[in-house]
Amino acid sequence: AESAEKTTLIDCNLLVAKALARAGVDHMFGVVGIPVTSLANRSVALGVRFIAFHNEQSAGYAASAYGYLTGRPGILLTVSGPGCVHGLAGLSNAAANAWPMVMISGSCDQKDVGRGDFQELDQLAAVKPFVKFSVKAKHINEIPNSVFSVLDHSGSGRPGGCYLDIPADVLHQTLTESEATKLLDDAECNRITESVTNIPNDKIAKAISLIRKAERPLIVFGKGAALARAENEIKDLVEKTGIPFLPTPMGKGLLPDSHELAATAARSLAIGKCDVAVVVGARLNWLLHFGEPPKWSKDVKFILIDIDEGEIELRKPELGLVGDAKGIVKVLNKEIKDDPFCFGRSHPWIEAITNKVKENVSRMEGQLGKVVVPFNFLTPMRIIRDAIIGLGSPAPILVSEGANTMDVGRSVLVQMEPRTRLDAGTWGTMGVGLGYCIAAAVASPDRLVVAVEGDSGFGFSAMEVETLVRYQLPVVVIVFNNGGVYGGDRRNPEDITGPYKDDPAPTSFVPGAAYHLLIEAFGGKGYLVGNPDELKSALTESFSARKPAVINVTIDPYAGAESGRMQHKN
């Protein structure tokens, strides 16, 4: 019996893999090396797909976006010390965006801590500002509980990043198969289950009365509503009540942009004049101008629906409803059904919004109709929009970053389906593009992924085009190449003095960089385009091929503005 026990000894790498697989983890993103290579291999052997990146930063962005798109924590695996530090980018992104993600890092031998070990770092201290919960497994026995805890904490309440630290010596410990099974079974019994929050009836009644009495109501929804998968409930609420809606940038698509009650093209009017705003899964942070004047009216009454009680305490709205957006909006709909009301199309507020939308859309279409070559931002964006619309359903997932490229893209490109837009988000992070593309492609294999990004944003993680090719992911990356951050050298010649005055501007890159050749180095398809016909043909070919491609679009370096639409913060 003793010898049979010996043959079934398993090591900690396998135990981690078993715990992950048991918890239903199906993807992991990361970079292997000492001491986690075996952990990755063991996980793959148990059916977890490991997407190997060049840099933990991109892998971390991928893990965070995977968490958002699937609603289950995205996993990042890193080596110790510097690997963990690179991974902080992803962890901070998950924290800022409130997306579920878990970073697992190897760390140095516990007995060598404080002696200058290989890649030694106090990793728990390093991750602290970015995590909801972190734990170091100091012994193999702690693995199952630790793995389940980080997964459970990252997804419960307001989602966010969690961290699991596994020292190299622990990864080398072993136990018997039966001990492992017992630990896993016990840990599974201790998993946190989300409690359902019940909203008191008087709060629901107050919400409905506020909405009913409003003269200029507005429904705002964001990526929390997207995470909650509340699209059907929000659609019901909008259509039952006839209230116009405004999605945040990543809330776009929850209801189609083409919906007759979409107020996106009349954003300033909608937020500036509404008297009651029902905000579902969106923080009143910088993206929504803190809910304050001058962008919002000073008398606006907010009804905030959020899973996080702290958010309600922070904003002090007229009314806060704490809980899952899908469940709460469903209850609101049910209550309204008993005594229906609808702000019909001839209501002055609805008319004002729809007229403004018509006016702004036709002005924008006028601008988009002009063909400008060398390309400005609008002409190629319109061509891309039409190509994307031509794809129909399932709509592609659109990844967008850059200053002008993202701003113009947000107003021109059309979102028709939920969770099909990923951009720089709450953290305003550039460099997320390639990681997001990879996450989107593996999270939604039936969808094409189209990235529209500036050359600067692309450059942060351009080497990951090799990852696209290696896994043959259906991703088309369109680079708006204007030769730098914001474009060409915009400095006033009198301001350029000093010993380095002949250096290129801090904002500029090599003009005419052949980004399309980067992907060709790995066997992907590259296109260089400078006019509408070339762009259209590259889009048609790459969209139907559904293979990794980079379309390098030459943009006039003087088109667009410094800092895009954020000049006030510059």
Q: DSSP string spanning 285-340?
A: SGGGGGG-TTTS-TT-EEEEEES-HHHHHHH--SEEEES-HHHHHHHHHHHHHHS-
The span of 139-147, 220-228, 429-437, 562-570 binding ligand ADP (CB under 6 A) equals: 220-228
Q: Is 426 in the site for ligand ADP (CB under 6 A)?
A: yes
Query: Does residue 396 have a cis bond before it (omega within 30 degrees)?
Result: no
For residue 540, give every residue at least 6 positions away whose Cβ sits within 8 Å of its Cβ, in sequence order, or none: 387
Q: Does 169 bind ligand ADP (CB under 6 A)?
A: no
Q: Which two tokens stand for residue 125?
A: 């201290």
> Should residue 227 be labelled a site residue for ligand ADP when binding is judged by CB under 6 A?
yes
211 binds ligand ADP (CB under 6 A): no
Q: Is 542 in the site for ligand ADP (CB under 6 A)?
A: no
The minimum distance between CB 95 and ligand ADP, in angstroms, equals 11
Q: Which residue stretch of 131-139, 167-175, 300-308, 453-461 sits at the interface with ligand ADP (rule: CB under 6 A)?
A: 300-308
285 forms part of the interface with ligand ADP (CB under 6 A): yes
Choosing from 44, 287, 391, 528, the residue that interacts with ligand ADP (CB under 6 A) is: 287
Q: Which range touches ligand ADP (CB under 6 A), out of 169-177, 222-230, 352-360, 432-440? A: 222-230
Applying CB under 6 A, among 252, 283, 356, 447 the residue interacting with ligand ADP is 283
Select from 172-180, 237-245, 276-284, 332-340 the region that touches ligand ADP (CB under 6 A).
Answer: 276-284
Give strand pairing partners of 453: 401, 479
Indicate the residue whose CB is closest to ligand ADP. 224
**Would you say 463 and 55 are in contact if contact means Cβ atoms under 8 Å apart?**
yes
To 10 degrees, what angle do helices 325-338 and 231-241 make? 30
Question: Which residue, 176 or 285, is less far from ligand ADP as judged by CB?
Answer: 285
The answer to whether the CB of 421 falls within 8 A of the CB of 252 is yes
Compute how many other C-beta atoms are within 10 angstroms of the C-beta atom of residue 366: 9
* Residue 317 within binding range of ligand ADP, rule CB under 6 A: no
Near ligand ADP by CB under 6 A: residue from 19, 59, 98, 535: 98
Q: Which stretch binds ligand ADP (CB under 6 A): 131-139, 261-269, 278-286, 313-321?
A: 278-286
User: Cβ of residue 303: shortest distance to ligand ADP, in angstroms?
Assistant: 13
Q: Which is nearer to ligand ADP, 248 or 554 (CB)?
A: 248
How far, in Å, CA of 318 to CA of 339, rounded? Answer: 23
CA distance 413 to 74: 27
CB atoms within 10 A of CB 3: 6
Q: Does 308 bind ligand ADP (CB under 6 A)?
A: yes
Query: At 480, which helix (H) or strand (E)?
Result: strand 475-481
User: How many CB atoms are closer than 10 A to CB 271?
Assistant: 20
The most distant pair of C-alpha atoms in the chain lies apart, rounded to whole Å, by 86
Q: Among residues 325, 350, 413, 475, which is the contact residue for ligand ADP, using CB under 6 A?
A: 325
Q: How far apart are CA 255 and CA 220, in angstroms?
A: 11
In the region spanning residues 68 to 97, those forming contacts with ligand ADP, defined by CB under 6 A, are 97
Q: Nearest 5°: phi and psi at 109?
A: -50, 135
Q: Which of 164, 124, 123, 169 lies closest to 144 in space, CA to CA? A: 164
Q: Does 100 bind ligand ADP (CB under 6 A)?
A: no
Query: For ligand ADP, which residue of 223, 410, 447, 525 counts as binding (CB under 6 A)?
Result: 223
First to last CA, the chain: 72
Cβ 331 to ligand ADP shortest distance, Å: 13
Number of residues this chain uses to bind ligand ADP (CB under 6 A): 23
Task: Pick between residue 197 and residue 367 the one whose CB is nearest to ligand ADP.
Answer: 197
**Closer CB to ligand ADP, residue 317 or residue 557?**
317
* 13 touching ligand ADP, by CB under 6 A: no
* Residues in contact with ligand ADP by the rule CB under 6 A: 97-98, 158, 222-224, 227-228, 248, 250-251, 281-283, 285, 287, 306-308, 311, 324-325, 426
